[in-house]
Amino acid sequence: MYSFTSRVRYSEVDINRQLDLAGIINYFQDCTTFQSEELHVGIDYMNEMRCAWMLSSWQIVIDRSPVFGESITTTTWAHGFDSMFGYRNFTITDESNVVCAYANSIWILVNLNTGHPIKLNDTITSAYQLEERIDMDYAPRKIRLPNELQEGQPITVVSSFLDTNNHVNNGQYIKIAEEFLPEDFVIHEMRADYRISALLGDTIIPKYAISDKECIVTLCRPDKKPYAIIQFIA
């Protein structure tokens, strides 16, 4: 288990001075990266091994959005490994140790040279002490698309979308998808199903369906195969 404490920054909040979904995702991603670095299986180790953890899915539940200036603690822990998969929980708690947001995530270890999944090695699995998984209603990894979708304007991947693996960052897909939410839509839960990594210069075609309680956005290649599917639940 690994934790770090921070204050919610002005640069991380929305028009209501609340930590937005992108900010929550960044805290979660930073937390897991900090833990891996501390355990010496971080970015340098992965580069030497020519492999990387690729996010397969998110399930994030927001009970309360922390506000500007608030002190929060972000915590993460691994709760399982299976062949090429790693399973990880997250929480954000306030100063009273009340959980504001929590998440489950599924990761796949990928060979950077081939782009194909590879089996976990003992160095990686032995570095993390497995903990009990959080008590939550676990959703399936895959998101089912509705039959009818509207199409948005194509988006070209620019360098600011990319992470250290030269792929579009996990959180960037969520930012794109959020643009299709109605103004009064309050996110209680978000699921993301990642399929294919988008690269610099790629074209992303958004398709979406909106109801009172749900918004589903699929971010597609020109051949209609999805890079990622995002579901927002009110």
Domain count, the chain: 2
CB-count burial class (<10 Å; 0-12, 13-18, 19+) for 143: middle
Q: 93 and 53 share a domain?
A: yes
- The 10s digit of each residue's pLDDT in 58-73 is 999 999 999 999 999 9
pLDDT in tens, 8-24: 999 999 999 999 999 99
Q: Are residues 122 and 154 in the same domain?
A: no
Together in a domain, 159 and 122: no
Q: Give the domain CATH number at 31.
A: 3.10.129.10
Task: Decide which of 95, 127, 159 is a domain's last residue.
Answer: 127
Please say whether the beta carbons of 134 and 92 come within 8 A: no
Range of the domain at 96: 2-127
Q: Does the structure show a pLDDT above 90 at 220? A: yes
Q: Give the per-residue pLDDT at 165.
A: 81
Prediction pTM value: 0.92
20 with 77, same domain: the answer is yes
For residue 160, tell me if it sits in a domain: yes
| Residues 10 and 110 both lie in one domain | yes
